[in-house]
Structure 1
Amino acid sequence: MKPVTKKIMWIFAMGQFGWSILTGIVINWLVYFYQPVEELINQGQPLFISQGTVVFGLFTIIGAITAFGRLFDAISDPLIASASDQSTHKLGRRVPFLRRFALPFALMTIFIFIPQSEGISMLNNISLFIKVIVFYLFMTLYCTPYTALIPELGRSQEDKINISTYISITFILGTSLAYSAPFIWDIFISNGIARVPAIQLTFAILATIAFILMMVPALFLKETDYIKAEPSKSGAFESLLKTFKNKHFRIFVLSDVLYWIALTIFQTGLPFFVVALLGLEEFMITVLFLTMTFVSFLFYLPVNLWAKKIGKKPLVLIAFLTFAFAFFIASISGLLPINAHVHGFIIAISAALPMAILGILPQAMVADIAQFESVNTGENREGMFFAARTFAFKVGQSLAILIFTTFATIGRDTGLGYRFSLITAIILSLIGAGVLIRYNEKHIIEKIEK
């Protein structure tokens, strides 16, 4: 097998750059587009789907659609992971999926933001439901085989941490590009294009860039030169059950789910917190996110070095606690006698360190557990470990969307529901830290190194 050079790692990381643009568009802007804040409705933002808690009197349409899409995505993960783990394709177990599904993944990102009719209608409700389901299907068909390559390319602890660092860099770059959408659509609006077509054109441009980036590893990573693995013999749900029987994985994934619920509440709500709680202009959403990204980048090298020196677990615990602090600062937005812009920058900077840590290390921890299992059982089920992790955190994201969109209907004029959602995120972050304390990283690393 050829050595996995840094060049190959960066080629691999370009795929993450691409798909994080697409997921960033949907995660950050879907709710904002279909359930806009009162300020935008008053300015003429059209509505396309039913508003309010119309599903069982508890959930909003957009919340229920997004949550169900994530749940469908979570259920499909093990099936796709198993298909990838069992693949005998001559190009490898992962790359053929990347080649086949990059384009439909990008196209569905665009179609989600094209309603079938003007104004609120049942047709729009139904068509959005279908498009969200298909989007998450294509996302899983690309992303699950992609993430399974992490432990396969990362043969040593140093390689795994380096790969996780590189893909974290490209993930945050892709997410930042998705968050920059208001800058782009404002340019189109200032040139006479209506708001909705300007948003749709912006997402089409970003999706095209994403497709090109996703094709880089699909075309230039020759999987069989770097990876030799026997296809798994276990069926999808048999393999999933084996994965969750791993005690270390169960502890890790429970803390990870709590983190993802809290993070998804924060990410989904950030545009609302900026516009509704802080009363800032829409373009400040991008400014604050880019600030958070830039400061987070400053921590990437230290996090990489600290993880190699003291381990991943202590840093992730620190990240949980600092995230809880950032959520607290966000929850009191507009209540302190300080400038709203200054308050926004405090939120962005306080979230930067945990963004860096949790962007890099959890994937390396899953890779450790997958390698630990392979050493113990002799079976290569890397795809299923990453699928099981995504299965769990996507269920968490489904809950987060329901929590946020439901809270968002409370006191829309005062923003009270947004504050409730952030308080929930604080509590979940602290519980997540408590769970992770039980994770035995030392035992896992010692077993791998032996």
Structure 2
Amino acid sequence: MNESRPRTLTGRGRALLTCGVTLVLGGILLGFPDITRIGVLLAVLPLLARLVARRRPPRLSIERSVTPARLQPDERAEVVVDFANIGDRATPLYLAEERIDYVLGDRPRFLLPRMEPGARRRLTYRIRSHVRGRHELGPIALQQQDPFGLTHVDLMIRSVGEVVVLPRIEALGHGRPPGSGLGNEGETPQMVALHGEEDVSIRAYHDGDDLRKVHWPATAHRGEIMVRQEDRPARRSAVLLLDSRQQGHAGSGGHSSFEWAVSAVASVAVQLGEAGYTLHLASRETLLDGTVEQPLSATEVVELLAVAETGDDVEHSRLVTTAHGLTERGGSLVAVVTDLDDRSVTDLAGLRQPGTSSLAMVLDAAGIAEGRRTTSAQAAGHCDLLGSAGWRVVSVPAGVTARAAWQSLTRLGSFTVTSS
């Protein structure tokens, strides 16, 4: 949709009008008709330019394409803007400016040449952002000036696009959460299909198995009693919990504790996704849209984290309560939390279920913001509390990378890691 703005005199036009009025008044007061006539001419020129400026704006349509549409931090993308004249008359020469978020760089400016009815023009520019999130592209502001530069007419084309900048992903190495039992925490065993029974897996007989499930063809083939296992064991699953409490985080921009937490959860999601885990994201975003219990791929988790924002304590309490329903089903639990208060850590400790692995990165938020490389007493106390509940814990002051924290969690038990 095109939105026309009032015709406005430029600085040159206003100066000319002011000079003209001054000369007219001076000529009349001093009795110099020639000066008065010159003043009238100077005053009339910008007024005529304003009157003859195009009254009815042209009809333009815009289509944008961004390649790639999903960016890694500091990755460049190419934006292609296609203009089309869908009106019944030619457009004048315009100075165009794309309104984009400041984190994407300087606003691109370019000349949009004259277009006949039905004509199209394609313009391109590049963007780059080191800040994750969903960023808008547009609208586009067009400006037309008269040949003398005395007046201009603004036109706003309210067509917008967007580009998504994903969280920073860090390679975590080969670490995996401990635990290799069957069920939600176990591997998916290879299925054996005999005689067309594609949906039935076969395993060795165990004491107490129902003899009616003996699979006689497989028993004869293997030389030992084999039984049908009609329920496929589930894939490994993991719950990823992000502490988004605004009061618990410190710092600003890409060096804040919250950005560290988002990047760490995204990196863990990619790591576990590559290992075949089914993921559940427990964050403020999935809590608000009711999708905490929805299984997600690593790609979906990362895209949700791209727009993660901080919230309040009430939302975090609801999130922990909701996560209980997921952890009761088994599977691994990975939490990135702050050192805000002891009560929330006590509630968090109760998420761990017997026989499952629970891993926590406890952020020393103030230490990260201040660049302090030693763990605070508050964060160390949280680590001790979670460790006593059976968690594997690592504290994160400034200088500790997500890779170092993850490798420590998946290699050792409850402890504190400090940066070198």
TM-score range, shorter chain: under 0.3
TM-score for the superposition, normalised by structure 1? 0.24
Greater helix proportion? 1
TM-score, length of structure 2 as denominator length: 0.25
Tell which structure's C-alpha radius of gyration is larger.
2
